[in-house]
Amino acid sequence: MRPLDWAVLAASLVVIVLYGLWRARDTGSVNKYLLAGKTMPWYAMALSIMATQASAITFISTTGQSYIDGMRFVQFYFGLPLAMVVISATAVPIFHRANVYTAYEYLERRFDAKTRALVSFIFLIQRGLAVGVALYAPAIVLTVILGWPDRATTLVMGVLVVLYTTLGGIKAVTWTDVQQMLIMMFGLVASLATVIWLLPRDIGFMDAVTLAGAAGKLNPVVLSFDWNDRYNLWSGLFGGMFLALAYFGCDQSQVQRYLTGKSIAQSRLSLLFNAVAKVPMQFFILFIGAMVFVFYTFEKPPLLFERVQQGRIEQTPAYAPLAERFDASFEKRRQAARDLIAARRDGSGDQTRFAEDYRRAQTELEEARRAGFRLVEANGGQPGFNDTNYIFITFVTRYLPVGLVGLVMAAVFAAAMSTISAEINSLATVTVIDIYRRHIRKQAPDRHYLRAARLATVFWGAYAIATAEYGSRLGALIEAVNILGSYFYGGLLGVFALAFFFKQVRGNGAFLGVLAGEAAIFAVARFTGVSFLWYNVVGCVVVVLTALAVTALENRHRPA
């Protein structure tokens, strides 16, 4: 990056932090620190919810996912709008009227203390594992730009986020999220405009769309049903809806956003805004990845986008013939692309033949890249190596104009900060409210719990820094973080479905149901090839059925 890029990045980060702290004045009580005194307007909550989910993983990995696998990942979000409507009608009024700090606090009122403790513990495990992955994402950025060690990057980012989250609480988190979301949108628009502008002058926008489609990158809807296929219409509508219900209705990092609302109506508006805006936003991000693919159809990409591993395999004897094979495949693909565009413009009947040549050359190029992956593994690299997370960042740092690189980097860092701050804030809230205040120190002044919340925030920030390095082992981060959540969300969703809709179920049924649901999820993951989105459905259904069975047995043995 050049001096102007660094200036844009630094100014953006400083303004975000200072603005959040300024808006978060007067957080001298637990209620204000954890719930912002329930004063937040709908638009701040809406942008905070969107920013929290649109992490740096979204920028870095989703675009790379589209480059590799096309736009079918957007189906993951098809169930989200319906989920938002359901949550607005059920969870929002229930949680607001219960006047709780956490979603799990409500479970004790509905069931018993052991159910609350179990679900709180599951949340801490799940979100605790995810926060390190979210922090690792910006480490990829500086590794590409400067060659900094991952640990140095995570330390800098972690300390910065812990600073304003600890001092300002949920109010600082929410208002910084608003600024971060705006920067993200500017960065996305700038990225798409730039990649289209950088295409060869004789390649128009519709030409680029044609090439992306011919390569199978414009595949936002897959109608075929397959349990083992991660992304199709059916897994997105049903599995995605269950995942969204769990994430926005049961995960404290999201529930806490709309618990800060001025009213039930304001909280509902924040969720409904996301119901309308989320799918188009993800489509837009994935389309950027498809256009980056087209750009690299004419501009030769590196064999590996991960710079360190590329340098390592270049020193091996096997690299030279592999590079020649890769270069030949690239030239063949580029020529086939031009032939296809010329045939499309002429309206000739050779379009089909040129499209097949184009796809064949693309397959050869991908096979050469996979050979490069195997070469990395054979020379001490991690098993299952891939470079999906490095594709978009490599494009940004090499080809965007001066100033825009800094803007996109600021967008990536803003996305990372929004997610990390939300997660450590929610982890601290559950730790203090559901564990510490409930089981360890039941009676203490408000100031004591405020101090405990700040200390818990520091603890979880330090934990995120310590565990971030494991993100390098997880492949495509956007998939890793959602697979991780799906191991736990089905159980969470099931117990809240019991709380809201099955009034006959009591504490023992809910407790055993959650245990059975989690066991079922891990069994399906271990012994079948079923796609991870279906874990959410399986877990929820098993929780409900188990709880109903336990309740029936209890009623049968209850004295008349």
pLDDT, tens only, 321-351? 999 999 999 999 999 999 889 888 887 667 7
Mean pLDDT (whole number) for 262-288: 89
Which of 176-180, 207-211, 224-228 has the least mean pLDDT?
A: 224-228
pLDDT tens digit sequence for 150-165: 677 777 778 888 887 8
What pLDDT, on a 0 to 100 scale, did the predictor assign at position 448? Answer: 92
Mean pLDDT (whole number) for 268-282: 88
The DSSP output letter for 539 is H
Q: Is residue 539 part of a domain?
A: no
Mean pLDDT (whole number) for 184-207: 88
Number of domains in the chain: 2
Mean pLDDT (whole number) for 1-16: 82
* 406 and 368 belong to one structural domain: no
Q: Report H helices in 54-203.
A: 56-57, 63-69, 80-89, 91-98, 103-110, 113-145, 150-197
* 312 and 412 belong to one structural domain: no
Which one is predicted more confidently, 365 or 38? 365
Provide the token pair at 67: 């480059």
pLDDT for residue 52 is more than 90: no
Which of 227-241, 319-333, 361-375 has the least mean pLDDT?
A: 227-241
Domain range for 357 = 307-385
pLDDT for residue 147 is more than 70: no
pLDDT tens digit sequence for 16-46: 778 777 766 666 678 888 887 788 889 888 8
Q: 363 falls in which pLDDT band (50, 70, 90)?
A: very high
What pLDDT, on a 0 to 100 scale, did the predictor assign at position 188? Answer: 82
What pLDDT, on a 0 to 100 scale, did the predictor assign at position 541? Answer: 94
Q: Which amino acid is at 175?
A: W
Question: What is the overall mean pLDDT for the chain?
Answer: 84
Mean pLDDT (whole number) for 249-276: 88
Q: Is residue 224 part of a domain?
A: yes
Q: Going by C-beta distance under 8 Å and a sequence separation of 6 or more, which residues neighbour residue 287?
A: 66, 71, 192
* 374 and 421 belong to one structural domain: no
Q: Is residue 353 part of a domain?
A: yes
Using CA atoms, how far residue 402 sits from 8, 194, 506, in Å, is 10, 12, 61
Provide the token pair at 259: 């618990």
* 172 and 270 belong to one structural domain: yes
End-of-domain residue from the set 408, 436, 470: 470
In contact, 209 and 80? CB cutoff 8 Å: no
pLDDT for residue 264 is more than 80: yes
Q: 393 falls in which pLDDT band (50, 70, 90)?
A: confident
* 445 and 366 belong to one structural domain: no
End-of-domain residue from the set 470, 498, 526: 470
* 381 and 423 belong to one structural domain: no
* 440 and 329 belong to one structural domain: no
Mean pLDDT (whole number) for 78-100: 90
Q: Going by C-beta distance under 8 Å and a sequence separation of 6 or more, which residues neighbour residue 369?
A: 303, 304, 326
Q: Going by C-beta distance under 8 Å and a sequence separation of 6 or more, which residues neighbour residue 519?
A: none
Count Cβ atoms below 10 Å from residue 435 Cβ, excluding itself: 17
Q: 287 falls in which pLDDT band (50, 70, 90)?
A: very high
pLDDT tens digit sequence for 435-491: 999 888 888 888 898 899 889 989 988 888 887 766 555 555 555 666 777 888 889
Mean pLDDT (whole number) for 390-411: 83
Count Cβ atoms below 10 Å from residue 401 Cβ, excluding itself: 14
Q: Is residue 69 part of a domain?
A: yes
Q: Is residue 479 part of a domain?
A: no
pLDDT for residue 560 is more than 60: no
* 374 and 446 belong to one structural domain: no
* 245 and 278 belong to one structural domain: yes
* 323 and 448 belong to one structural domain: no
CATH value at residue 449: 1.20.1730.10
Q: Is residue 417 part of a domain?
A: yes
Mean pLDDT (whole number) for 409-431: 81
State the Cα–Cα distance between residues 533 and 230, nearest whole angstrom: 7
Using CA atoms, how far residue 23 sits from 38, 407, 411, in Å, is 14, 23, 21
End-of-domain residue from the set 339, 367, 385: 385
Which one is predicted more confidently, 135 or 145? 135
Q: Is residue 548 part of a domain?
A: no
In contact, 516 and 485? CB cutoff 8 Å: no
In contact, 321 and 371? CB cutoff 8 Å: no
Q: What is the pTM of this model?
A: 0.80
Q: Which amino acid is at 239?
A: G
Residue with structure tokens 């769309």?
A: 209
Q: Is residue 517 part of a domain?
A: no
* 183 and 252 belong to one structural domain: yes
* 323 and 288 belong to one structural domain: no
